[in-house]
Amino acid sequence: MSGKVELVVPDLGDFADVEVIEILVAPGDTVAVEDSLITLETDKATMDVPASHAGTVVSVDVATGGRVNAGDVVVTIEASDEDFGSSTIVIEPEEQEAILAKVAVSDDTVSEPLPDTTHFAELVVIGAGPGGYTAAFRAADLGMNVILVERWPVLGGVCLNVGCIPSKALLHAAKVIDEAEAMAEHGVKFGKPEIDPVALCGWKDKVVGRMTDGLAQLAKQRKVQVIHGIANFASANHLELDNGETIGFRQCIIAAGSEPAMLRGLPDDRRIVDSTGALELDPVPDRLLVVGGGIIGLEMACVYSALGSAVTVVELTNALMPGTDPDLVRPFRKIVEKRYEKILLGTKVSGVQATSTGLDVLLEGKDGNTAETFDKVLISVGRRANGDKLNAEKAGVAVGKQGIISVDKHMQTNVPHIFAIGDLAGGPMLAHKATHEAKVAAEVAAGEKSAFDARSIPSVAYTDPEIAWVGLTETEAKQDGVAYEKAAFPWAASGRALSLGRDEGFTKLLFDKESGRVLGGGIVGPNAGDLIAEVGLAVEMGADATDISLTIHPHPTLSETIAFAAEAFDGTLTDLYIPNKKK
């Protein structure tokens, strides 16, 4: 049985004449329950009106720019379910409360717990990594009463404690070692470095400690209440902690991050480590096997190689850094092939046996099976989101495969007062993506008008040389049939690169063939991660080649290679001779 159903605007509390800013469906569209139909905007926030029934849209009864009130018909659908009772469907009060939670938030902060909870806050943030603490601090700055829940004893999450920051400290040490050795060709010779793994790790931990101590102070200054414990949802407005305490909340931001993925069937042996364990250097192994040729594995390979380990990298696919433009990876591979013991592509680990003398590893490749013995094995085969480790289903939050939680442009889950950001919200697992999502979620929770609408998200491999890219890649352009033109500038023609003894790199920009606008770019060479931000800004602001080339860059710098690449596209480059250009 089916019939026409009119969906109406729910109770809007004190709001009237609310503007319709976006129509999300059209006649003929098939909608499921909870699919968003239209977006309304009050002076407090935006809100989507969801479908309470599944069916096919017959008519859209409002227009963009129009104004509506509670009870106005939004969309008429031909319902596909049998339980529709009457021709007009009124969203139930419980559903209205969930929809309006972000709109009708009281201006008065609530610090007292509800009768059945230990703590209460307007906003609870689960996870204190870059996404979590950014969300908590931004919400506090906007006047919200915030609780920040972190499972570890210190703030900062994976990034600050066992990821981005400590690994970059070790990579800096590796860079110093490599550069000192390279200077021998230029008349400056140093003795063989003496590595003190304990002291080196102590310095690394001190760097981390300064960062985490700073976060604790920032939380205190903002009056963000920090609670340490493992949080799980008990309902749509309650959390249970592993210490027995409970937290009630009006809104929640899930920022629980991800964890390293591990291969199955490995022996339980302390010499088999993930990216966290790899940061503990004592002892530095004579032979290291890195399983996985992605960014994290290759960064740690750089560290251990500089410290004296003979490094072998095994990658299942036929390329290092799978998905990265091959021309960006090529200079890196040319260098590390001389430094590493072996790079085995198209190869997988089919077995590991732990013995008293080492780890016997069976490698299965294109040319057959081989057995090798290593002192340490680093498993770096990706990360897995933690979205399915929070009992989120008890709050009604839909969790997909691999622990990913789907969100809209406001970072809201299918339960509007619960947000998700960072690694578990899908997309690249990058701290800088998480922090931008965090501010959006916090601002929407506080009633601000905000949305995540980034045109590009930069990626950086902090290897030696560094590799960075942003926006459209050549690999993506070719796959999607995007018409583009590439302009590149080799660092062999850069005075600054030559003075650093690092002429292996280059800078490339991708342009729209018609408009000349920057679509993306890639850089390989020292400090590529710092340089790529200019290309990201160009993509974000819709700059064209002339915008970049007419911006005066300091000389001699590596940054001017970006301007030179733009000039190469425009045909105005004088630092190289490129015939047959348009100007």
Radius of gyration (C-alpha) of the chain in whole angstroms: 27
Record the tokens describing residue 334, joined without a space: 């040319």
- Selected residue with higher pLDDT from 32 and 513: 513
- Report the alpha-carbon distance of residue 348 to residue 291 in Å, rounded: 8
Residue ranges of E strands in 81-145: 88-89, 119-126
Which string of DSSP letters, residue by residue, matches 39-97? EEE-SS-EEEEEPSS-EEEEEE---TT-EE-TT-EEEEEEE-SS---SSEE---HHHHH
Query: CB count, 10 Å around CB of 223?
Result: 11
Choose among 319, 272, 259: nearest CA to 293. 319
pLDDT in tens, 476-496: 999 999 999 999 999 999 999
Lowest mean pLDDT among 101-115, 119-133, 273-287, 532-546: 101-115
436 is catalytic: no
- Report the alpha-carbon distance of residue 278 to residue 376 in Å, rounded: 9
The label of the residue with tokens 């200077």 reads 183
pLDDT recorded at residue 110: 39
Is residue 8 over pLDDT 90? Answer: no
- Selected residue with higher pLDDT from 506 and 20: 506
Average pLDDT over residues 51-61: 86
For residues 539 and 470, is the Cβ–Cβ distance under 8 A?
Answer: yes
Is residue 527 over pLDDT 60? Answer: yes
Taken as a whole, the chain contains a residue count of 583
| Confidence at 80, pLDDT banded by 50, 70, 90 | low
- Distance set, CA 516 to CA 144, 532, 538, 570 (Å): 45, 19, 12, 9
Q: Does domain 3-93 have CATH number 2.40.50.100?
A: yes
For residues 525 and 497, is the Cβ–Cβ distance under 8 A?
Answer: yes
Record the tokens describing residue 75, joined without a space: 């969309």
pLDDT recorded at residue 30: 87
For residues 314 and 364, is the Cβ–Cβ distance under 8 A?
Answer: no
Which string of DSSP letters, residue by residue, matches 494-560? -HHHHHTT--S-EEEEEEETTT-BEEEEEEESTTHHHHHHHHHHHHHHT-BHHHHHTSPPPSS-STH
For residues 464 and 494, is the Cβ–Cβ distance under 8 A?
Answer: no
Mean pLDDT across the chain, nearest whole number? Answer: 91
Q: How many CA atoms lie within 13 A of 214 on its CB side?
A: 10
Distance of CA 323 to the CA centre of its chain: 16
Q: Is 433 helix (H, G, I), strand (E, B) or coil?
A: helix
Cis peptide leading into 115, omega within 30 of 0? no
pLDDT recorded at residue 43: 58
For residues 178 and 464, is the Cβ–Cβ distance under 8 A?
Answer: yes
- Distance set, CA 31 to CA 58, 85, 316 (Å): 11, 19, 41
pLDDT recorded at residue 72: 86
pLDDT recorded at residue 581: 58
**Dihedral sign of CA atoms 202, 203, 205, 210 in order:** positive
Choose among 473, 470, 523, 457: nearest CA to 323. 473
For residues 145 and 275, is the Cβ–Cβ distance under 8 A?
Answer: no
Q: Where are the domains of the chain?
A: 3-93, 119-259+385-445, 272-381, 459-570
- Distance set, CA 197 to CA 159, 304, 336, 344, 362 (Å): 21, 11, 23, 28, 29
| Confidence at 326, pLDDT banded by 50, 70, 90 | very high
State which fold the 459-570 domain adopts.
Enolase-like; domain 1 (3.30.390)
**Percent of the chain whose predicted confidence (pLDDT) is above 90:** 80
Q: Which position among 238, 432, 436, 555 bears the catalytic label?
A: 555
Give the end-to-end CA distance of the chain in Å, rounded to a whole number.
Answer: 69
pLDDT in tens, 528-545: 999 999 999 999 999 999
The secondary structure of 318-378, three-state, reads CCCCCCCCHHHHHHHHHHHHHHCCEEEECCEEEEEEEECCEEEEEEEECCEEEEEEECEEE
- Selected residue with higher pLDDT from 367 and 435: 435
The label of the residue with tokens 């920090």 reads 226
| Confidence at 103, pLDDT banded by 50, 70, 90 | very low
pLDDT in tens, 243-253: 999 999 999 99
Average pLDDT over residues 503-507: 97
Average pLDDT over residues 540-566: 97
Is residue 36 over pLDDT 90? Answer: no
Give pTM, 2 decimals: 0.80
Q: Does domain 119-259+385-445 have CATH number 3.40.710.10?
A: no
pLDDT recorded at residue 81: 46
Domain covering 272-381 in this structure, CATH number: 3.50.50.60
Choose among 378, 359, 364: nearest CA to 289. 378
Choose among 218, 106, 115: nearest CA to 123. 106
- Report the alpha-carbon distance of residue 317 to residue 499 in Å, rounded: 36
Is residue 366 over pLDDT 50? Answer: yes
Q: How many CA atoms lie within 13 A of 462 on its CB side?
A: 17
Choose among 436, 422, 447, 448: nearest CA to 540. 436
Is residue 93 over pLDDT 60? Answer: no
Average pLDDT over residues 259-278: 95
| Confidence at 580, pLDDT banded by 50, 70, 90 | low
Burial of residue 309 (CB within 10 Å: 0-12, 13-18, 19+) is: buried
- Selected residue with higher pLDDT from 77 and 83: 77
- Report the alpha-carbon distance of residue 129 to residue 141 in Å, rounded: 18
| Confidence at 19, pLDDT banded by 50, 70, 90 | confident
For residues 25 and 37, is the Cβ–Cβ distance under 8 A?
Answer: yes
Is residue 210 over pLDDT 50? Answer: yes
pLDDT recorded at residue 418: 98
**Is it true that 3-93 and 272-381 share their CATH fold?**
no
- Report the alpha-carbon distance of residue 54 to residue 82 in Å, rounded: 10
